[in-house]
Structure 1
Amino acid sequence: MFLASLEQPAKKETAITELSGPEPKPHKVTVEEINKAISEIPLPEEPEEQSGEAFKFIDAQSFTKKKPVSVIVEEKEPEKPKPVVVGELFKTYVVAQVGDEMILMDKHAAHERYIFERIKSDAEQLETQMFLEPIMVLLSYDEYDALTANLDKVSQLGFEIEPDVAPTVAVKGVPIILGDDNPADIISELAKNFIENKLNPQIELFDDLYHSIACKAAIKANDTNSGIELQALVNAVYGQENIRYCPHGRPVMITLTKRDIEKQFRRVL
């Protein structure tokens, strides 16, 4: 019985071996089989283009070809500092800070050039302001003849003028931009300009006319202006590359850097 009990487990082990069979060998997957499997994967639909996105999608075909994923990032430009008015000198020069710079702006020269550029680029700035009663302006006879011969061009500049008893003209309206100033001086300047340019009196060549109107319309040195008005002027002029000199050639502003000022105070060498 003891021998029989020892032989039974051996028979059971043999039975298990016969049922399970030989152990399978591991199969090595080849590169060709991997590529074939990838190529059989259906491609997803291409996503619609998203406006305002800072990147673009790469389709699945790009991955099968093992191309590197590219990402396009839109770099935003750093925001430029804005001028801030900090005061005024001698009721003539506006003091403003722009980042690490200080600017001194001649308020009359800056405003004059600003108006000059707007007149040249936008005829609507020359809309006419009509007077309740005409203003009579006495000219020389030469000025009277030159002005009355060019009333159509004067009208394009926003003036409403009619000849009266020579050498007097009746001014019925002026450009709104001139405000409430007496028009006598500007009418005389217009007439003199027509005398000087009578050989080629084309309106686009009469920069002196625009200069005269801009000069009369601009704020003046020693005028009292609020901080809001000065800030509006600096905002309009600063950053305009074509506004660096007034129509007469004087600089509109000068700039001092923080380092320039600190060198004056010997804070830096």
Structure 2
Amino acid sequence: RLPPQRRPLAVIHVRLDPHLVDVNVHPRKAEVRLSQERSVYGAVTRAVEAALAPYPRQEGEFPALEWPFAGVPVEPGVVREARAEYVAGGLEPLGQLRNVYIVARGREGLVIVDQHAAHEQVLFERLVGGVGGRALSPPVRVELTAREAELLEPYLGALADLGMEVEPFGGHAFLVRSLPVPLAEQEPRVLLDALLEELPRCRRLDPEAVRERLAMKAACTAAVKAGDFLTREQMQALLDDLMASWSPATCPHGRPAFVLLTVEELERRFMRR
């Protein structure tokens, strides 16, 4: 929802195949889930870039966008350049709340970060960005059931694309030869078990959607959890990584990664305005 006295700069109409939309993730239908989120994101990005291409691009630091958008006058101050306020190093961690949230100080006020959602988004972006794998020495042998082996084999290429090299080793055994670089410290069997849980949901998806779904599952499995204690250095590193990402506002599942409590909001709460 837009704050009072604010209006959208533009409206985007998106048509999707109904089979790609899950409307049952929220009891009041306030949100939906897309089965091919990255593909939709890419299509919308390309459409916006094409629509804005004829208009002059303004470079440098500025507080508001004032492009002549299709001849429609834009109210000054309608759109703030939010990302400029949250560059790497721009958030200072103050501490953890119940080892679930990082409370940080930013230029606009207090920023409360869901540590799991934030780390999940950072890992997801690195995985889909093709960071490659790190070899395990020695490789890890994993024994699966017949059903698990049958389920896994068609997706070995998809795992390799993420940097996780797994190969058959006779019978129902497999060798894990490498893990994605961002997940190199993970226990191979734990990570493989998590991905096996996700594979039945991948059967009707195209290769790009499979890669995205597996990256989401791997990132969720490896990300710091609610209840994990983080040192100040770890908090700072996570904040910097999140704000350097291309989509820091949400995790791959669409949950908020952080919320901002502005100075103005605090002043209203304390009746200073």
Determine if the TM-score, normalized by the shorter chain, exceeds 0.5: yes
Deviations 1:52-97 (A, max 9, x none): xxxxxxxxxxxxxxxxxxxxxx997478573222222122211112
**Alignment counterpart, residue 149 of structure 1, candidates 154, 168, 185:** 154
**Which ranges of structure 2 fall in alignment gaps of 5 or more residues?**
1-58, 64-83
**Deviating more after overlay: 88-97 vs 129-138:** 129-138
Partner Cα separation in structure 1 for residue 168 and residue 62 of structure 2: 58
Q: What does 1:220-235 align with in structure 2 at a 5 Å threshold?
A: 220-235=225-240
- Conservation of the 8 A alpha-carbon contact between 2:115 and 2:224: yes
Letter in 2 for 1:91: N
Matches within 5 A, 1:12-23: none
The within-5 A match list for 1:188-203 is: 188-200=193-205, 202-203=207-208
Instruction: Give me the whole-angstrom Cα distance separating, in 1, the residues matched to 2:224 and 2:215.
Output: 16
Counterparts of 2:149 and 2:259, CA distance in 1:
42
- Deviation of the 1:116 alpha carbon: 1.0
Question: What is the letter of the counterpart of residue 218 of structure 1?
Answer: A
* Candidates 259, 262, 266, aligned match of 1:254: 259
Aligned to 2:214: 209
Q: CA deviation at 1:258?
A: 2.1
Matched, 1:89 2:94: no
Q: Residues 110 and 243 of structure 1 are in contact (CA less than 8 Å); yes or no, is this contact kept in structure 2?
A: yes
**CA pair 254-75 structure 1, distance change in 2 beyond 3 A:** closer
What is residue 187 of structure 1 aligned with on the other side? Answer: 192
Deviations 1:219-248 (A, max 9, x none): 233333232321232233237572222123
What residue in structure 2 maps to residue 137 of structure 1?
Answer: 142
CA contact (8 A) 2:126 2:182 kept: no
Task: Render the CA deviation track for 1:76-125: whole Å, top value 9, x for unaligned.
Answer: 747857322222212221111222411100111111112212322x21x2
Q: How far did 1:131 drift? A: 2.1
Structure 2 residue aligned with 1:111: 119
Which blocks of at least 5 consecutive residues in structure 1 are unaligned? 1-73
Q: Contact 1:147/1:190 (CA < 8 Å) preserved in 2?
A: no
Q: Secondary structure at the match of 1:149?
A: helix
Cα displacement (A) at 1:149: 2.8
Query: In structure 2, how many angstroms separate the alpha carbons of the residues matched to 1:118 and 1:80?
Result: 23
Asked if structure 2 preserves the Cα contact closer than 8 Å seen for 1:144 and 1:191, the reply is: no
C-alpha change, 1:147 and 1:87, in structure 2 (3 Å) is: same
Tell me, yes or no, if structure 1 residue 168 matches structure 2 residue 168.
Answer: no
Q: Which has the larger radius of gyration?
A: 1
The CA deviation at 1:253 is: 0.9
Q: What's the TM-score, normalizing by structure 2?
A: 0.60
**Using the alignment, how far apart are the partners of 1:142 and 1:157 within structure 2?**
23
TM-score by length of 1: 0.61
Identity of aligned residues (%): 28
Q: Is the 8 A contact 2:100 2:114 kept in 1?
A: yes
Over 3 Å counting, the alpha-carbon distance change for 1:146 and 1:203 in structure 2 is farther
Inter-partner Cα distance in structure 1 for 2:183 and 2:148: 21
Q: CA deviation at 1:200?
A: 4.5
User: 2: distance between equivalents of 1:162 and 1:195?
Assistant: 19
| 1:101 alignment partner, one of 87, 98, 109 | 109
Q: Secondary structure at the match of 1:180?
A: coil
Query: Does the CA-based 8 Å contact 1:157-1:175 persist in structure 2?
Result: yes
Which of residues 218, 224, 228 is equivalent to 2:223?
A: 218
- How many residues of Structure 1 are paired with residues of Structure 2 in the alignment? 192
In structure 2, the CA distance between the partners of 1:142 and 1:196, relative to structure 1 (3 Å rule), is farther
CA deviations on 1:197-238 (whole Å, 9 max, x unpaired) are 334451454322011221233223333323232123223323
RMSD of Structure 2 on Structure 1 (CA):
2.9
Q: Quick one: distance in 2 between partners of 1:90 and 1:182?
A: 26
Aligned equivalents of 2:245 and 2:183: distance in 1? 23
